[in-house]
Structure 1
Amino acid sequence: MKIKAIITGASGMVGEGVLHECLLNPDVEEVLIVGRRTAGYTHPKLKEIIHPDFFDLSAIKDQLKGYNACYFCLGASSIGMKEKDYHHVTYDLTMHMASILADQNPGMTFCYVSGAGTDSTEHGKMMWARVKGQTENDLMRLSFKAAYMFRPGFMRPTKGLKNILKGYKFLGWLYPVFKVLFPGRVSTLQEVGWAMINVTRQGYEKPVLEVKDIIKLAHSA
């Protein structure tokens, strides 16, 4: 199966890591980055759309047709944000774009980067976890061929990439220790990218992927 993927959030750590794996993988034949600023990459199979307003995609809607995967890595930190504002930039933004993609590409596999600890009940104490849980739940109700919710924990960054978060730079050397102490909570960013590609090709037994599922999928090809 040849994959034509849309990636959002490619100027962030996770999105850049997923993009990196897609560009290396021979089964991914085309990648479209959609972002508010350039990701700074050039590659023969890469296209890029710079679009400032993800709440109004009418100008680029037709350019989003013809893809069979979306790796949605766009996200915002909840630190210092009120729930209403975080809900707007997380739930509203994601659902707006996902709804358009589902209409344009009914055969699409949609992968959403959520996070370990996301609250599927939508009623827990953690604000970010409730919002992410609602986003996950409603994404799975859209008319995609399949939708998978990725819940990574700590990810060892991919060496050589430019958007590694400071905390991950400082703690990356502890990955072998974390792997032993918390095997169900850590993976590599490379494994997240591999898992998204593999789930597009072969699917998975459940729609919500915790860290152990991500690692299993990453090495299942």
Structure 2
Amino acid sequence: MSNKAIIAGSSGLIGSNLLDILLREAFYDEVLILVRKELPIQHPKLTQLVVDFDQLERYSSAITGHAIFCCLGTTRHKTPDRTVYRKIDHDYPLMLAQLAHKNGVEQYHLVSSIGANAASSTFYIKTKGEIEADMQLVGIPSLHIYRPSMLIGKRTERRPEEKIVTGLFKIIDPLLFGGLKKYKSILAATVAVAMYNQSIQTNKGSFIYESDKIKELS
């Protein structure tokens, strides 16, 4: 039996690292990426499906396999419209999960955020908390939610403000220990490794991994 993985958000910081791993490691012999436009990548295991995320149900027949990895996400700077922001961070991941469950996909791996809380007054944190809560109602047999802290890694797009924050974390990280360890910055590649490692396990149920736990799993 072949093992197929699907990635949504393969051009992002975590998704691009994850794609490299899935193409390199032998466990998955088919990797499908859902993209708005094709990426300049070719590999014998790789298939690219250009989709309209507002019409995901049109591609339902392709949402099959062993595991779905959802690395979709945006920023307030890139997407100031809250309606659009919520679609990307909540609606698309949820629709993908519903289609996956309908088609018998066993695993769903979702990138969320540190501090996700549906009761928060902060829109970003509240949206992340809501998708986590809604995702657990879908019924995926094996649901894995990752809550990374400040992500470190090379991006294709320039984010000057993020460079400043990254510099600050180099100073702050050594001061975070005990219950504060989960707030330390984390490499996007580390999150990707943890996601892959969990996907080749057979654990059933819903799991939430804070940033410090993600490091342990990588």
TM over 0.5: yes
Residue identity in the other structure for 1:20? D
Residue identity in the other structure for 2:151? M
- Do structure 1's residue 133 and structure 2's residue 129 form an aligned pair? yes
The 8 Å contact of residues 32 and 49 in structure 2, kept in 1 or not, is answered as: yes
Residue identity in the other structure for 2:116? T
Secondary structure of 1:60's counterpart equals helix
* Percent identity for Structure 1 against Structure 2: 24
5+ unaligned residues in a row in structure 2: which ranges? none
Q: Could you give the per-residue CA deviations for residues 112-159 of structure 1, whole angstroms, max 9, x where no partner exists?
A: 11111211xx1212111111101011111212121111111123326x
Residue identity in the other structure for 1:146? S
Once the two structures are overlaid, the 10-residue window that deviates more, 182-191 or 138-147, is 182-191
Quick one: structure 1 residues 205 and 169, their matched pair in 2 at CA, closer, same or farther if it must change by over 3 Å?
farther
- Do structure 1's residue 29 and structure 2's residue 1 form an aligned pair? no
Secondary structure of 2:41's counterpart equals coil
Residue identity in the other structure for 2:195? M
Secondary structure of 2:56's counterpart equals coil
Equivalent residue number for residue 156 of structure 2: 163
**Structure 2 Cα separation of the partners of residues 205 and 92 of structure 1:** 22
Tell me the TM-score normalized by structure 1: 0.82
CA RMSD of superposed structures (Å) = 2.7
Equivalent residue number for residue 68 of structure 2: 70
Once the two structures are overlaid, the 10-residue window that deviates more, 167-176 or 54-63, is 167-176
Stretches (4+) displaced over 4 A: 167-179
Equivalent residue number for residue 194 of structure 1: 193
- Do structure 1's residue 124 and structure 2's residue 135 form an aligned pair? no
**Structure 2 Cα separation of the partners of residues 106 and 25 of structure 1:** 20
**Structure 2 Cα separation of the partners of residues 175 and 24 of structure 1:** 31
Residue identity in the other structure for 2:55? D
5+ unaligned residues in a row in structure 1: which ranges? none
Secondary structure of 2:151's counterpart equals strand
**Structure 2 Cα separation of the partners of residues 92 and 215 of structure 1:** 28
